Amino acid sequence: MSNLFKSNKYIYFILLHAILGLVVSSFLIVSKVLSILIVVVGVLYIIKSKDKNNEALFFAAYVCGIEIFLRMTGGAFFNEYGKYVISLFCLLGVLFHPVQISKLLFIFLFLLLIPSLFIGLLDSSYEINLRKSVIFNISGELCLLACCLYTFGKKIDFKQLINLVYVISLPIVSIVVYISTHTLFADNVYVSTTSNFASSGGFGPNQVSTILGLGTFCFFVLFILKKSIPYEKFLYLGLFIYTAYRGVVTFSRGGRYDLCPYNDSCFHWNFIYLY
């Protein structure tokens, strides 16, 4: 895993994910193949390395960044894809580390949530799908439990932390490219300043603006804290500015638009005609 983070490979991975965004925009089937490859490669890599360098954490971080991309391109086979895959990687990583008694506290806290699940089902309508309701309400807690069991007491150095930010940011490059290709040839993309599906690649503006907000943060951190040669710095700065811009023009409450007290006119002149 450490070989992937050599300084001369950073740019190549960013370019690879930019190309991925272009390819998926033309061939959506690639997204489904990608979702399968992530699981297969991740499981095999973690088992082969025995999680010596926190490989499970890096694969989980990558899924965190790419889940929205897979969902907006039809690659995720179900809505909870990200939660299940992250849980799988973290639980697989736990197997290669000694079990700490203190980690059992998280299992106990998880068990305390189970009664609330049944109470919620009792208050629901009769038309509700029992299986889907249970999965929807418990999947987030299961993912959180898996992450807690894996990360509790684990120490990572500053270099690994920056690499984690880098891994999360890679799929966001694909998202930005994918959105840009969809809005480039679209007519009447900015017809109002309400939450805009057209400017978010046809997917939920709230989800897209939120992941773009994460990308804005990641690229800013890489620009400020990552030791790199000058042209890499300019690349991170450019990605930071453009990702922030793409997030703003979704005009969604998940991004930065609601920071303006006058939603109907504050950013209208500034961003509609900037595009």
pLDDT in tens, 155-178: 888 888 999 999 999 999 999 999
pTM of the model: 0.82
201 touches 176 (CB < 8 A): no
Phi and psi at residue 170, to the nearest 5°: -60, -50
Whole-number mean pLDDT of the chain?
79
Region label for 201, one of left (φ > 0), alpha (ψ between -120 and 50) or beta (otherwise): left
Please tell me the total number of residues recorded for the chain in this structure: 275
Distance between CA atoms of residues 83 and 60, nearest Å: 9
Q: Where does the pLDDT of residue 154 fall: very low under 50, low under 70, confident under 90, or very high at 90 and above?
A: confident
Region label for 251, one of left (φ > 0), alpha (ψ between -120 and 50) or beta (otherwise): left
Residue 36 has which token pair? 């399968």
201 touches 182 (CB < 8 A): yes
- Nearest to 213, CA basis, from 243, 237, 235: 243
Provide the pLDDT for residue 7. Answer: 57
Residue 229 has which token pair? 């040669």
Provide the pLDDT for residue 3. Answer: 58
215 touches 176 (CB < 8 A): yes
Q: Where does the pLDDT of residue 247 fall: very low under 50, low under 70, confident under 90, or very high at 90 and above?
A: confident
Provide the pLDDT for residue 219. Answer: 94
Q: How many CA atoms lie less than 13 Å away from 213 in the CB half-sphere? A: 15
Provide the pLDDT for residue 272. Answer: 34
Cβ burial of 39 (10 Å; 0-12, 13-18, 19+) is: middle
* Axis crossing angle, helix 81-94 with helix 55-72, rounded to the nearest 10: 170
Distance between CA atoms of residues 71 and 67, nearest Å: 6
pLDDT in tens, 117-147: 677 666 655 555 656 666 777 788 888 889 9
Provide the pLDDT for residue 61. Answer: 94
| pLDDT at position 100 over 50 | yes
Q: Where does the pLDDT of residue 208 fall: very low under 50, low under 70, confident under 90, or very high at 90 and above?
A: confident
| pLDDT at position 68 over 50 | yes
In terms of pLDDT, which residue wins out, 45 or 247? 45
Distance between CA atoms of residues 166 and 218, nearest Å: 7
| pLDDT at position 91 over 70 | yes
User: Residue ranges of the domains in the chain?
Assistant: 27-156
Using CA atoms in the order 214, 217, 223, 228, what is the torsion angle rounded to 10 degrees? Answer: -40
| pLDDT at position 192 over 90 | no
